[in-house]
Amino acid sequence: MELIGMLDSPYVRRVAIGLQLLGLPFTHRSISVFRGVDQLAPINPVLKAPTLVADDGTVLMDSTLILAWAHTVAAPRTLAGSDALHAARVLGLALAGCEKAVQLVYERARPEEKRHAPWVERVTAQARQAFALLEQAFEQRPPTALDDAAMTAAVVWTFTQDLLPGLAPPEAHPRQRNWAAQAEAHPAFRAAPHGDGVYPVA
């Protein structure tokens, strides 16, 4: 299968790491959804990254759906009961923090006169709440394995620290900081580093 998208997107990166953790081989093309429209449009005219092209040519989008499908190929999910509930809580908070961070990055990319202060204020507050609650969730139950939820939390942390320093100060979120540091040392993370590079690292 082929994964398309740049590793500076936390959504692309969580798929690149998740496929490795599932033991599914893939090739990667680092194409921008903006500068690479001419290359991307023939593959996925919706212009979404990550885009995954399955071996039969089916084109998927949405990182959660791609990972859910990958689980059906590789290994059934085994979480149940309160583990499944806690994982859904953690992943929901990480994806909410990520969505709001991405919205702030897009807003910042607009001409200044097109930015809307009440929107920025609302989305900033939402992101901060998400990261604060994620910190609490990690305090209640520290992450131990690179399941989709804990893996994604680390990816989102790295992305947010790089693009929006100050949004979630590390000193106020020591558990996420430490967990991300630990996760980033894993071979699957190192093979798909945050940035605009290509997986796998040479």
Query: Which residues here bind a second copy, judged by CB under 8 A?
Result: 45-48, 54, 56, 58-62, 64-66, 68-69, 72, 79-80, 82, 84-86, 88-89, 91-93, 95-96, 110-111, 113-116, 119, 122, 125-126, 129-130, 132-133
| Amino acid symbol at 4 | I
Q: What angle do CA 19, 4, 202 make, to 5 degrees?
A: 70
**Cβ atoms of 22 and 8 closer than 8 Å:** no
- Whose Cβ is closer to a second copy: residue 111's or residue 185's? 111
Query: Minimum distance from CB of 42 to a second copy (Å)?
Result: 12
- Whose Cβ is closer to a second copy: residue 7's or residue 102's? 102
| CA 124 vs CA 12, 20, 184: distances in Å | 23, 32, 25
Query: Which H helix or E strand runs over 170?
Result: none
Query: Minimum distance from CB of 179 to a second copy (Å)?
Result: 20
Query: Minimum distance from CB of 84 to a second copy (Å)?
Result: 5
Q: Among all chains, which residue has been given the structure tokens 């859910």?
A: 68
- Whose Cβ is closer to a second copy: residue 14's or residue 193's? 14
The tokens of 64 are what?
Answer: 């959660």
Query: Minimum distance from CB of 169 to a second copy (Å)?
Result: 18
- Whose Cβ is closer to a second copy: residue 88's or residue 181's? 88
Query: Minimum distance from CB of 182 to a second copy (Å)?
Result: 24
As a whole number of angstroms, the distance between CA 189 and CA 142 comes to 19
As a whole number of angstroms, the distance between CA 58 and CA 35 comes to 24
- Whose Cβ is closer to a second copy: residue 50's or residue 193's? 50
Number of C-alpha atoms within 13 angstroms, CB side, residue 37? 3
